[in-house]
Amino acid sequence: MRTNVTHPPAWRITGFALSAAGAMLFAIKGVLIKLIYRYGIDTTSLLAMRMVVAVPVFALVGVQQWRRLERDARPDARTVGLAMLVGVLGYYISSWLDFQGLQTLDAQIERLILFTYPFLVILFGRLLLGHPLRPHALLGAGLSYVGLFVMFAGEPTRLGTAALIGGAFVAIAAVTFALYQLFARELILRCGAPLFTAIAMSAAGGMALLGFFLTHPAAALMPPRGAWTLILALAVFSTIVPAFLMSAGTARIGAQGTAIVSTISPVVTIVVAVMVLGEPFGWPEAVGTLCVLGGVGFFSVIESRPRSYQAGEEGPA
């Protein structure tokens, strides 16, 4: 049962501002990763370095959240275990694939490919859970993937083997992140968003460090001089801070409102990638970006409209 609470306009305005700030910080992740790769750091090492900084913060938040809950309100061991598994899928496997793709793919293309994950959530929801597949989702997905095709086909250098492999890594990352989103929903309701995120991130961090120590000497965890500043920026300003900003924003404007605001993310990535990395931006990038943003934006706006839900059908968070 939902309780209707009336908040002043400033409450929702603050929510939009928090979500927008979080989306913009997440947007610079790809650019920071591309800059870090110039120091010769590999994907597994970078992911471990990121987790070394980020996980203690999320773990501390998790301990605080756990202590605040009454004993009978705490999630059981099965729920915690599932949250850890889903966290490994979304924050370790998906991140590793995304980071690996950025080795050879432009940051702006990476962001746009990942940005199509809401359509994959709908598709897997239909295939795995029997959720309805609505026409506007198919239309939005079609427009977005046409945009990605234009960006690759319009720039011959992106049809090379390296770029296509990078795009494939990021596309699989979008698939795994969509599965994470699909399976995380029920666990978030059981645990609460802060506690779930803390459990998921801690498990992912443990796997990232395990993967690192199984394949690298411990000394490789220390990056070259000059890279730590960028790694700290990646962990703090593109991981920790935006996660809390987005959570706070979603609490005020809802998941669909946050999704709509997040359409600013690829635009920020493109601007920063062009200015900082010198990536190209011509008519293929312009047309492709408009198609992807248009498809996701159309889908998000339609999804945010109030509608009646039948028994067994999930409504908006």
Sequence ranges of the domains in the chain: 15-303
What pLDDT is recorded for position 306?
Answer: 57
304: pLDDT confidence band, cut at 50, 70 and 90? low
- Residue position matching structure tokens 């995380």: 184
Quick one: average pLDDT of 128-143? 82
For 221, other C-beta atoms within 10 Å of its C-beta total 14
Residue closest to 167 by CA, chosen among 95, 112, 239: 112
* Average pLDDT over all residues of the chain: 85
For 238, other C-beta atoms within 10 Å of its C-beta total 21
Whole-model pTM? 0.85
pLDDT at 4 over 60: no
Quick one: average pLDDT of 223-243? 91
142: pLDDT confidence band, cut at 50, 70 and 90? confident
317: pLDDT confidence band, cut at 50, 70 and 90? very low
pLDDT at 74 over 80: yes
252: pLDDT confidence band, cut at 50, 70 and 90? confident
What pLDDT is recorded for position 77?
Answer: 92
Cα–Cα distance for residue pair 245/42, rounded to 1 Å: 29
Q: Degrees (nearest 5) of the Cα angle 53, 56, 62?
A: 140
pLDDT at 182 over 90: no
Residue closest to 83 by CA, chosen among 187, 210, 179: 187
Quick one: average pLDDT of 22-30? 90
What pLDDT is recorded for position 106?
Answer: 92
pLDDT at 227 over 70: yes
The CA-based dihedral angle spanning residues 294, 242, 33, 36, taken in that order and rounded to the nearest 10 degrees:
150
Token pair, residue 6, equals 């009336």
305: pLDDT confidence band, cut at 50, 70 and 90? low
- Cβ atoms of 99 and 33 within 8 Å: the answer is yes
pLDDT in tens, 260-285: 777 788 889 989 999 999 988 888 88
Instruction: Please state the separation of Cα 51 from the chain's center in Å.
Output: 15
pLDDT at 73 over 90: no
152: pLDDT confidence band, cut at 50, 70 and 90? confident
Residue closest to 20 by CA, chosen among 250, 305, 207: 250
Task: Count Cα atoms within 13 angstroms, Cβ side, for 249.
Answer: 23
Cα–Cα distance for residue pair 77/74, rounded to 1 Å: 9
pLDDT at 200 over 50: yes
Cα–Cα distance for residue pair 203/91, rounded to 1 Å: 9
- Cβ atoms of 287 and 152 within 8 Å: the answer is no
Q: Degrees (nearest 5) of the Cα angle 109, 286, 272?
A: 55
The CA-based dihedral angle spanning residues 9, 12, 18, 24, taken in that order and rounded to the nearest 10 degrees:
-100
